[in-house]
Chain A
Amino acid sequence: MREITIREALNEALQEEMKRDDAVILFGEDIARMQGAFKVTAGLLDMFGEDRVIDTPLAETLVVGGAVGMAMAGLRPVAELMFADFLGIAMDQLCNYAAKMKYNCGVNVPLVVRTACGARGSGMHHSQNTEGWIQNVPGLKIVMPSTAYDAKGLLKSAIRDNNPVVFFEQKTMYGLKGEVPEGGDLVIPLGKADVKRQGGDITIIATGGTVHEALAAAAELEGRGISCEVVDPRTLLPLDHETIIESVKKTHNVVIVHEAPKIGGIGAEIAAVIAEEAIYELESPVRRIGAPFTPVPFSRPLEKAYVPDRERIITTVMELLSPEGV
């Protein structure tokens, strides 16, 4: 099958949805003429014109607030927040307007906020995984794809969803290639996890960039005789309990991985779901791997120590499954 990058997959999703529905418009800083900080909107200004691919001034309350207004008025805006760290600026528009208008007055807010997350040498204000900031805001959906296929199918679904969706794109992964079929209408329902690798001894539940670390760890562990199943929730809100619990019932051991700080991260929610729904299935304690409770550091060796990697996953799995053999 054809292979394209996550960047290209996102671009195709935007293009196809904009062709399918005139109500879909793009809104954000430097997205039109400059084609986005990460070039996801490349070529779209030429294709759709400046009424549908709109550059905004530097003002995130406008990027999100303006998009909320357009969505309430019947358009289907896809807003781009250049960095996930900027969510804090637009928190009111996102959490108190977008998330609550259905409850408040029955009006749908069919909005997608795309934003780039993750550490890559840019220091504390341009590196954060901020899904934890918004994961207990009722009314929002949260998506975090890890492959080109998922990125395309999930973004198309997010645009068609009548609810506000925050769509996290791991910035180190924009260039990552993966199989995506040419043509057709690739749509992946929100709220469905995907088993990225089948295995029998332990379930590694990983999100975003850490999915690839989990897969690399699983390949390495296979050589040591440990069979890992890798589950990518893909959508964090709503969370697919069924796929997670099914896997736990199969392997009876669980490690959860994400790049955001471990304390209060989505891993805590996943672990609680497992405790509530399948605690007697467990043969070992649920272990979480996340960033330490520090800002994202700048210096290379510090950042390397900060971001959860395959080594930490391997060590943790070994501690659980063969405590003598670590």
Chain B
Amino acid sequence: MVTISREDKIGLYRQLVLNRIFEEKTIELYRLEGIPELPHSNLGEEAIGVGSCYGLNADDYVVPDLRIRPALITKGVPLNEICADMYGRLGGTTNGRATSHHMGYPSLGVVGTSGIIGGHLTISAGFGMASKIRKDKRVTLCFFGDGGSNRGDFHTSINFASLKKLPVLYIISNNQYAEGMPVESHISIKDIADRAAGYSMPGKVIDGNDVLEVYREVQDSVERARNGEGPTLIECKTFRLRPHCEAHPETRSQEELDEAWKHDPVPRMEKHLLHEKILTESEMGDIRKEYTRQVDEAFEFGKSAPYPPVEELYNSVYDGEAEWVRS
């Protein structure tokens, strides 16, 4: 089993805080003044992206879905660029052509995906196959939700990955909802990870709100994948603390939400760090201050960057000159 050093615990905590502050800021700004990109908040689910990506190599692949921004930030995608993409401005990854939701960042192994949920499941198997062919020792982390697991591509992808022993981790954020649908209304089984048995691959159910557990379990499966032993299905139990997106009203009961907030991953980690005497309250306060400033600056950058010129519309449709796309 993986042991976690004090430095890594601090590192994991720092990422948690950064992502929490980024989310809080996003929600606040959307409410106060609007943001062109409609936020689909990961508030309360940060531990999954953070714990999964914290120990990865720079060239490992991350294949995100729409609510896993913490994976991207932990992988190192610059906040300024995320913000510029959220506002459709210059200075982001696509100069306003695409949103930040499922952005790619090739130099950090972040694979661009789609707002059309679930297509990336088979794409992930393709990345795994490429690594196997090239023997490059890279692993691929494919992130999706309980809702996404209902697409047939889930079956297709994990069957192939297990068959070929591909270095792919399928990481489910089971946040109990797919838009308005509670998980028991759309999935026939309690633990999605149990489905792994039907594909002769390991499946684990873990506490997605415990960043240390996520880190340990993912690292364990990463090692297995790097050694050529094949894929793992990891179901992270968590809870979507916000409505599906910030434009939707809350439809769940206050009791249900209050109960879920008790398992908030951030205070849980803080309690652990205090108990282990790894950080003091005041050191944690300093970390929060540092990141509040960084996040404020990033949003300021995104908001005040210029809009792209119309020319940008015609860029990057094809590789190479393609004047004819203007017609």
Q: Which of B88, B102, B325, B326 contacts A302 (CB 8 A)?
A: B88
Interface centre among B180, B307, B326 (most CB of A within 10 A): B180
Q: Is the CB of A85 within 8 A of B116?
A: yes
Chain A interface bracket (under 10, 10 to 19, 20 to 34, 35 or more): 35 or more
Complex interface bits, B285-324 against A, C-beta within 8 A gives 1, otherwise 0: 0000000000000000000000110101110010000001
**Chain B residues positioned under 8 Å from A60 (CB to CB):** 151
Q: Is the CB of A301 within 8 A of B310?
A: yes
Q: Is the CB of B116 within 8 A of A86?
A: yes
**Chain B interface residue count, Cβ-Cβ cutoff 8 angstroms:** 42
Complex interface bits, A82-106 against B, C-beta within 8 A gives 1, otherwise 0: 0101101100000000000000000
Q: Is the CB of B327 within 8 A of A263?
A: yes
**Chain A residues positioned under 8 Å from B313 (CB to CB):** 292, 294, 297, 302, 305-306
With A59-B152, A293-B317, A293-B327 already in contact, the answer to whether A302 and B96 are too (CB < 8 A) is yes
Q: Is the CB of A57 within 8 A of B37?
A: no
Q: Is the CB of A57 within 8 A of B308?
A: no
With A55-B185, A57-B147, A299-B96 already in contact, the answer to whether A34 and B180 are too (CB < 8 A) is yes
**B186 interface hit (Cβ, 8 Å):** yes
Q: Is the CB of B324 within 8 A of A293?
A: yes
Complex interface bits, B173-190 against A, C-beta within 8 A gives 1, otherwise 0: 000001111000111000
Q: Is the CB of B178 within 8 A of A58?
A: yes
A-B contacts counted at CB < 8 A amount to 117
**Chain A residues positioned under 8 Å from B96 (CB to CB):** 297-299, 301-302
Q: Which of B88, B98, B148, B314 contacts A292 (CB 8 A)?
A: B314
Q: Which of A33, A58, A59, A294 contacts B325 (CB 8 A)?
A: A294
Chain A residues with a Cβ under 8 A of chain B:
29-30, 33-34, 37, 55-61, 83, 85-86, 88-89, 121-126, 262-263, 292-295, 297-302, 305-306
Name 28 interchain pairs, CB-CB below 8 A, sorted by A.
A30-B179, A30-B180, A33-B180, A34-B180, A57-B187, A58-B117, A58-B148, A60-B151, A61-B151, A85-B116, A89-B118, A121-B36, A123-B99, A123-B101, A124-B97, A124-B98, A125-B114, A125-B115, A292-B325, A293-B317, A295-B97, A297-B312, A299-B88, A299-B308, A301-B307, A302-B88, A302-B97, A306-B313
